[in-house]
Amino acid sequence: MAKCQFTTKYHDYERQTIVDYKCDSKDEDMSQSSLCLFHDEYYLQDKTMRKEHEQTVRDKLMTKVHNSIDQKEALLCIGYYLPDNITIKGDFTKAVHFSKAKLQQIEFSGGASFDLAEFSGDAEFRSAEFSGLADFREAEFSGLAYFTSAKFSNIADFTSAKFSESAYFGSAEFSEKADFYSTQFCGEAEFSSAKFSGEAEFSTSTFKAKAYFNYVLFEDGKKILFGELEDLSQFSFMNTDITRVRFSDRARWGKQDKFKVLEEKMLEDFLFKRSPQQVSLGSVMAVYRNLRENYEFRLRYDEAGKFFIKEMELKRRFREKKNSSGDGSSNYDVVQNCWLRRNFFSLTGLYYHLSRYGEDLLRPTLAGITIVFLSTLFWVAQANPVHEPSLSHIVGFSQVGNHTQWYKSFERSLADLIPFLPSGNNVQIGLLDYAIKIAGGVLTFGLLAIALRRKFERKYTR
C-alpha cells in the first residue's frame, strides 16, 4: 500500500526540539502525486475532484481527531490542506499541531457544557493559514498557544478565549478584524512583528503578565482599540507606531508613576540591577515621543506634556557610550550621567531647572525676578548706579536707606532684563548690562515665550 511522501520539520514544544515530520497516512485514496488527501492541494483546485473528496477529507480528519482525544495522543495535522467549514469538537489533553496547515475555515467549538474547545496540552498553529473565519471564541488553552507566523485572511475571533500560559502571535498577519474582546492572557502575550491590516479589538481584555507589541505594524492606528484597559504598565510598544492607536481615558502606564512605560523600567533594570540590556536609549525615548503625539492628537495636552517631560528626563539622565567588543565590532551601552552633568554641565539640565523643558511658566518667572533682585543689590552697592560698574566704586550697603539709590538701581536692572525697555539717558551702558540682557533677559523671556506658545498652541489649535 502506498505511503504519503510528505515530510517537513516542526517544533515539538514538549521536548523543546526541532523534529522531523513524516506523514504516516496509508490509504487507497492516495493521489498520483504520492501525497495523501491531506497533503495534496490539487483536489482543492479542481472543482470536480474537490466536490468528490471534500467530505472524505472531513470524515478522515474527524476520525483522526477522535482517535487523538480517545487515546490522549498529540494531534498532528502538519501541512494539511483542509476544505471549508470544518468543525472540530472535543477536549484535547495533548498538544494540537496545525503547523503550516492551510485552513479554509475552521471552528473549534465543543466541550461538555460550555460549548468551547479545551486544549489541555500545547496548541501549535505555527505558520497556519486561515482563509476563512478563524473562530476560537471561548476556547481554553491550558498549555502554550503558538500562532507564530499564522495568516488570518478573514476574521480572527478570540472573543472570551482564555490563555492560561503564554500566547505567541509573533509575526502573525491579520488581514481583517482581529477580535480579542474580553480575552484573558494569564501568561505573556507576544505579538511582536505582527501585522494588523484591519481592525483590532482588545477592549476589556485581561493581561496578567507582560504583553509585547514590539515592531508591530498597525496599518490604520485609528482602528486599533485598547479601550477600557486601564493598566498598561506591562505593555511594551517599542519600535511600533502608536500615534493613532486608541487607549482608555484612564490608562496608566506605570504602577506608581502613571506615565512611566515598561521600557524605561527595563532600562533601569539594566543599569541598576545588572540585568541584560534589552532596550536602547533611543527606543525608549521614541516610545514616549509616540505617546506624546498620540495624546496631542486626542487633544489631551496635559498628559502629552508629561510624556514630553519623561522623554527629556531620559536625555538628561542617561547617554549612550560607544563600546568596542573583543571581536572588533562596536555597539552602544547606556550609561548614567554624573550629578554635575545632569544638573549644570549640559543644556538639557539647565533647560530642566529653568523651565522644566518649556512646560512651566513659574520657573522662568522666578528666574527673572531673581536676576532683577540680585542685579538691583549689585547696583545699590555702587557709588552711583547709573555709571559703569567699578570695583573701586563699591561702597557696600551704606546707602541702603536711600530710596533714590534703590529706585535708580531697580530701574537699571529692569531695563537690563527687558530687551526692548530703554535705559535712562544718563545711564552708562557697559559689558555687565549686555551680559544681563543676553544671559538674563533673552533667556528668561525666551523660555517664557516657549511655555506660552505651547499652552496657547495646545489650547487653540487642532
Q: Are residues 187 and 266 in the same domain?
A: no
- Enumerate the β-bridge partners of residue 207: 185
pLDDT digits (tens, 9 = 90+) for 315-350: 999 998 887 665 554 578 889 999 999 988 888 988
Of the candidates 225, 180, 237, 171, which has an alpha carbon nearest to the alpha carbon of residue 207? 180
Q: What are the helix (H) ranges across 131-260?
A: none
Whether 310 maps to a domain, the answer reads: yes
Alpha carbon distances (Å) from 8 to 21, 100, 295, 308, 418: 5, 10, 48, 50, 78
Burial of 59 (0-12, 13-18, 19+ CB in 10 A): exposed
CB 269 within 8 A of CB 317: no
The secondary structure of residue 46, as a DSSP letter, is S
Does residue 279 lie in a domain region?
A: yes
Q: Tell me, yes or no, whether 6 lies in a domain.
A: yes
Quote the Cα angle for 430-435-439, to 5°: 160
Residue 115: the pLDDT is 32
Same domain flag for 177 and 292 = no
* Least confident window among 147-156, 228-237, 431-440: 431-440
Check whether residue 276 and residue 235 sit in a common domain.
yes
Same-domain pairing of 55 and 105: yes
- One domain, residues 202 and 54: yes
Q: Is residue 119 part of a domain?
A: yes
Q: Are residues 24 and 135 in the same domain?
A: yes
Q: What confidence tens digit (pLDDT) does each residue in 178-187 have?
A: 999 999 999 9
Residues 85 and 168 placed together within one structural domain of the fold: yes
Same domain, 112 and 196: yes
pTM for the full model? 0.76
Do residue 206 and residue 236 come from a single domain?
A: no
Question: 379 and 296, same structural domain?
Answer: no
Are 14 and 128 in a shared domain? yes
Q: How many domains does the chain contain in total?
A: 3
Same domain, 204 and 256: no
Q: Which pLDDT tens digit goes with each residue over 108-166?
A: 443 222 235 678 778 888 888 888 788 888 888 888 999 999 999 989 999 999 999 99
Q: Which of 159, 183, 212 is the last residue of a domain?
A: 212
Decide which of 337, 354, 379 is a domain's last residue.
337
Query: Is 332 part of any domain?
Result: yes
Structural domain includes residue 136:
yes
Q: Which of 163, 186, 212 is the last residue of a domain?
A: 212
CB 170 within 8 A of CB 149: yes
Here the cell at position 96 is: 494540537
Residue (of 185, 178, 280, 286) closest to 237 by Cα position: 286
Q: How far apart are CA 151 and CA 2, in angstroms?
A: 32
- Give the dihedral sign, CA 379/385/386/388: negative
Q: With respect to residue 221, please indicate whether it lies within any of the assigned structural domains.
A: no
* Structural domain range at position 442: 362-460
Within-domain flag for 246: yes
Does the pLDDT value for residue 194 go beyond 90? yes
pLDDT in tens, 55-94: 888 888 888 888 888 888 888 888 888 776 677 766 777 7
